[in-house]
Amino acid sequence: MHKQVSRRDFMRLGAGAAALGAAARVEFLKPTMLAAAPRVVPPSDRVRFASIGTGIRGSEIMRAALGCPGTEIVAACDLYDGRREWAKENSGKPNLEVTKEYRRILDRKDIDAVLVAVPDHWHRKLVEEVCASGKDAYCEKPMSHTVEDGFAMIEAMQKHQRIVQVGSQRRSSIVYAKAKEIFDSGYLGQVTAVEAWVDRNDASGAWVYPIPPDANEKTIDWETFQGSAPKHPFDLKRFFRWRCYQDYGEGLTGDLYVHLLTGIHFITGHNGPPQRAAAMGGLYRWTEDRDVPDLIWTLYQYPHFTLGVRCNLNNESAEVTRIFGTKGTLEIKNDVLSVSPQDTQPHPESYSIYGWEEKTRADYLRQWEADHPTPSPGKWPIGQDSLVFKAPDNYDYSLDHMNNFMESVRTRKPSVEDAVFGNGTAIACHMANHSYFHKTVAVWDEAGKRIKG
Ligand SMILES: NC(=O)c1ccc[n+]([C@@H]2O[C@H](COP(=O)([O-])OP(=O)(O)OC[C@H]3O[C@@H](n4cnc5c(N)ncnc54)[C@H](O)[C@@H]3O)[C@@H](O)[C@H]2O)c1
């Protein structure tokens, strides 16, 4: 159903809609069932969960989980005292059991699911142990820190028959679901090119987060934080700004590419790594204390299309994904989805015939007109409108993603974003980094399950 929109509503849609001109039809996407009517869950279906990692993202997904019907938090774990205290405040449970030893959570028999929101170098071990303890895992993106990690995590999911959901929330967004519907309908024709970017231009966007004044060797368990990573003396920057270091994260690719790739893999139905990646970029501006680039631009080869992805920490712009087809173009700009048709009406050749003799050209044009008579009035083909879709105000796709996880935990229905899907997008990130750091084209070796090049 297309809702009538006022001019004011239309203006609110911003540049995405405006660029398409007044001809665009605008549809407000329906909120999910959860937002429309939270369902009552019987006590027997309650999901009891714990959080491991209660920092920036861990806090958000804890709240998302508590916002889902029929959930209860029973414990939280973090290595920094301040975050354990914050977990009690954030959960609204001043007496919440908190610990810095995650095994105390895994040893409990009354926990169904664990939210894993720790730096990436810890994802594999925690997901393996959560699965082995008979619990389901929601693991933040990117799923893996290395290619080997990802396959080990798939094995853990399959061996212990657990739900593992990766936390790239675009997979559950109603905007991306609509984009997939349009893609699958054939509206875009043959799609051969895709481009996407996330760009930022401030210290927070570049992960230069302030360090809390009470953070020190006494309030932080540095040894556990390092885990399997190369050892360094106690370092607050490494602890709070871990995204800047290859030991713990993957820089821009693992932090931001993965969101773009999740949306693109979901829309196009691709479930696995790309075939090749060639990345360029540099560390141009944020040169203090990091070993990852602040600009990385990658061309990926997929079986049916070529994808260009960019993340730049030195100039801010809207987040964009664009899909180019022979019959139409789809664009997602922030949370506005717009689709516009290509001109596919027949036209006489208007370029190369100007290298012909005049008579030959005139004959060609006369014949073309005869073959394509001008339709009589009222018989003009009706062109497809441009379409614009927007999520309702305050739409939260993280909440939908978490609710999908909780439903899978309850019903054992496979996750919308399981470890196989998460592995494909994470490997794409590792391929871009491989290409950038080795100055080569990264090739995915499907048989050997490794990156070559
Ligand atoms: N889906 C998204 O939109 C999104 C957004 C931000 C971050 N993330 C992901 O979430 C994860 C966490 O990122 P963040 O920004 O919250 O980091 P953060 O540094 O704010 O928090 C991480 C927390 O994990 C804790 N921790 C580390 N190792 C631990 C261990 N072994 N046991 C218990 N606690 C441990 C640390 O003490 C820290 O408080 C990362 O994988 C990141 O990529 C996802």
Distance, in Å, from the CA atom of 205 to the CA atom of 203, rounded to the nearest integer, reads 5
pLDDT tens sequence across 341-374: 999 889 999 999 999 999 999 999 999 999 998 8
According to the model, what pLDDT value does residue 53 have?
Answer: 98
Q: Is the pLDDT of residue 14 over 70?
A: no
Please state the atom number of ligand 1 nearest to the C-alpha of residue 255: 43
Is ligand 1 within 6 A of the CB of residue 257? no
Distance, in Å, from the CA atom of 112 to the CA atom of 93, rounded to the nearest integer, reads 19
Nearest of 93, 174, 80 to residue 396 by alpha carbon: 174
According to the model, what pLDDT value does residue 39 have?
Answer: 76
Q: Is the pLDDT of residue 403 over 80?
A: yes
70: left (phi over 0), alpha (psi -120 to 50) or beta: left
Confidence of residue 383 (pLDDT cuts 50, 70, 90): low
pLDDT tens sequence across 234-279: 999 999 999 999 999 999 999 999 999 999 999 999 999 999 999 9
Confidence of residue 214 (pLDDT cuts 50, 70, 90): very high
Helix (H) or strand (E) segment spanning residue 452: strand 450-452
Is ligand 1 within 6 A of the CB of residue 62? no
Confidence of residue 35 (pLDDT cuts 50, 70, 90): low
For the chain, counts of helices (H) and of strands (E): 16, 17
Best probe residue, ligand 1, of 51, 52, 54, 56 (max atoms within 8 Å of C-beta): 56
pLDDT tens sequence across 149-195: 999 999 999 999 999 999 999 999 999 999 999 999 999 999 999 99
Q: State the pTM of this model.
A: 0.93
Distance, in Å, from the CA atom of 169 to the CA atom of 397, rounded to the nearest integer, reads 6
**CB of 258 closer than 8 Å to CB of 249:** no
According to the model, what pLDDT value does residue 19 have?
Answer: 46
Question: Which is higher by pLDDT, 232 or 24?
Answer: 232
| Pairs from 107-111 (Cβ < 8 Å, separation ≥ 24) | 107/133, 108/50, 108/74, 108/75, 110/48, 110/74, 111/48, 111/49, 111/50, 111/74, 111/75, 111/135
For residue 30, give the amino acid letter.
K
Average pLDDT on 207-232 reads: 98
Confidence of residue 37 (pLDDT cuts 50, 70, 90): low
- Residue 247 C-alpha to ligand 1 middle, in angstroms? 14
Closest residue CA from atom 21 of ligand 1: 55
Mutual orientation of helices 174-185 and 397-411 as an angle, nearest 10°?
80
Query: And the tokens for 304?
Result: 């049916």
Q: Is the pLDDT of residue 11 over 90?
A: no
Nearest of 204, 289, 301, 221 to residue 255 by alpha carbon: 204
Best probe residue, ligand 1, of 51, 118, 141, 238 (max atoms within 8 Å of C-beta): 118
